[in-house]
Chain A
Amino acid sequence: MEDKSIKKLQVIKFEAGKGETVEYNGNTKTEHDTIKGIFLRLSNPEALQGATLRVWIDDTEIIPDDTEVALLHHNDELSMNDVVFPVNEKAKNSPVRIIYKDDSENLAVNDKYNVRVYLMAEQHK
């Protein structure tokens, strides 16, 4: 069967610093129907080691507490589809909650850096 849905991305951006815990609360876009996947990029990949996160979409915990960000991190050598963490949750303005913990004590990352969480969404025709 031909896949008629349109693929879309939603980007959630926040700032994190050394040893910080950042909580993000927001919503998925109303025009998106389902969230099919999730992946991240850090503006400073050196902060990757030790960073963990926990994600809820539509009040379902899809990424459990203490999951290492490195497992979901996209780098330039990978295509988006290879890195995406598959999920299947309702979008349509459902709540998104992300708890991001930086734990980069073992790396001297002193500057603040940006965390971008990409939600791959589908929109049905």
Chain B
Amino acid sequence: MKRYFVITHKSFNDSHINVQDLLPASCKLITGIAVNATAKQEGEIEAITKLLPFPQMLIANLLNSEQITTLFYSYLHTRATEQASRAFFESDILPEIVRVLSSNIVYTCLDAGEQQVLTDSIINIFNAEFTDYIYNESNLFDVGQNMTDSVFADFIAQKTLIFIYINKERIFKHNVNKYIRPEPYECGNISLLVNGNSFLLRDYAVTANRKVRNIKNEIIPFHEALEVNSNIHTVFKSYQTNSNNTLTIRIYIEYEYK
């Protein structure tokens, strides 16, 4: 069974390290080693806009609701002139679509304030642009002349979905703070010695703040297990001269545990 032992050293103000550590009594056969360094740096916050997932199925289901589909019969009476049709659309159909969408599209990841912003943007964009879109670009008045009730409801639903999809980047977004990760940099080299003069690592370049992988991938395995006595000697030479960072170096020793 493999076990791990961690040795931690700190380098303040780019100092070199030259220390001996005791290994645990059970650590007799070393099978691999890993080194990782992190430097403490003040992180910066950046405000970014993130898109929310587009709720296509939800919108499609909402537009199938009865309140919207039954409006067709009232619309029938207004098909004579475009003006009447448009007036009816603005006074009856549009408010209904806006009401259904704005009250039902709710994101649990948003707080009340952010949700209100999203609801407001649905209301504003629909009230300002949807009538023009459906009459000018989709030609509802001409296309709607020979429609039956289900075709009409489908048409409105489809166009609403297309309209909301075209504008998805203006509606489905929220502001989040992203933390900028400190940049990785080469901080120095490290040598590890055991048994007086055997190198486990020799002048191994250490990169601080790099992205670490899983422990199985981080460990540098040895060809064959190395028998050690109780000491390990660490020598770290810093490449930096005035970074003012506190560098934490962790050495992971993988050993056979019986």
- Chain A positions near chain B (C-beta within 8 angstroms): 46, 49-50, 62-68, 70-73, 78, 82-83, 85-86, 88, 105-109
Tally inter-chain residue pairs, CB-CB below 8 A.
Answer: 62
Contacts A106-B43, A106-B182; is A64 near B212 (CB within 8 Å)?
A: no
Which B residues touch A109, using CB under 8 A?
Answer: 179
Which B residues touch A86, using CB under 8 A?
Answer: 2
Give the distance in Å from the alpha carbon of A67 to the alpha carbon of B6 in the complex: 7
Contacts A67-B4, A67-B252; is A106 near B212 (CB within 8 Å)?
A: no
In the complex, the chain B residue whose C-beta lies closest to that of A108 is: B43
State how many residues of chain B have any CB contact under 8 Å with chain A: 29
Q: Name the contact of A49 in the complex, choosing from B8, B38, B252 (C-beta under 8 A).
A: B38
Q: Name the contact of A85 in the complex, choosing from B45, B179, B215 (C-beta under 8 A).
A: B215
What's the dominant secondary structure at chain A's contact region? mixed
Q: List 11 A-B contacts (CB under 8 A).
A: A49-B209, A63-B4, A68-B36, A68-B212, A71-B212, A72-B214, A82-B214, A86-B2, A106-B38, A106-B43, A108-B42
Which A residues touch B250, using CB under 8 A?
Answer: 66, 68
Contact between A64 and B5 (Cβ–Cβ < 8 Å)?
A: yes
Find residues 193-246 in chain B having any chain A CB closer than 8 Å to their own CB: 209, 212-216, 218
Give the distance in Å from the alpha carbon of A85 to the alpha carbon of B4 in the complex: 11
Give the distance in Å from the alpha carbon of A78 to the alpha carbon of B215 in the complex: 13
Over the window 16-41 of chain B, the binary record of Cβ atoms lying under 8 Å from chain A Cβ atoms (1 yes, 0 no) is 00000000000000000000101111
Contact between B179 and A108 (Cβ–Cβ < 8 Å)?
A: yes
- Chain B positions near chain A (C-beta within 8 angstroms): 1-6, 8, 36, 38-45, 179, 181-182, 209, 212-216, 218, 248, 250, 252
Which A residues touch B45, using CB under 8 A?
Answer: 108
Give the distance in Å from the alpha carbon of A62 to the alpha carbon of B214 in the complex: 16
In the complex, the chain A residue whose C-beta lies closest to that of B2 is: A86
Which B residues touch A108, using CB under 8 A?
Answer: 42-45, 179
In the complex, the chain A residue whose C-beta lies closest to that of B178 is: A46
Give the distance in Å from the alpha carbon of A108 to the alpha carbon of B177 in the complex: 10
Contact between B181 and A49 (Cβ–Cβ < 8 Å)?
A: yes
Known interface pairs A67-B4, A82-B214, A108-B44; 17 further A-B residue pairs with C-beta atoms within 8 A, sorted by A's residue number: A46-B181, A49-B181, A49-B182, A50-B248, A64-B5, A65-B6, A67-B252, A71-B213, A71-B214, A71-B252, A85-B215, A86-B2, A88-B1, A105-B40, A106-B39, A108-B42, A108-B43
Contact between B42 and A106 (Cβ–Cβ < 8 Å)?
A: yes
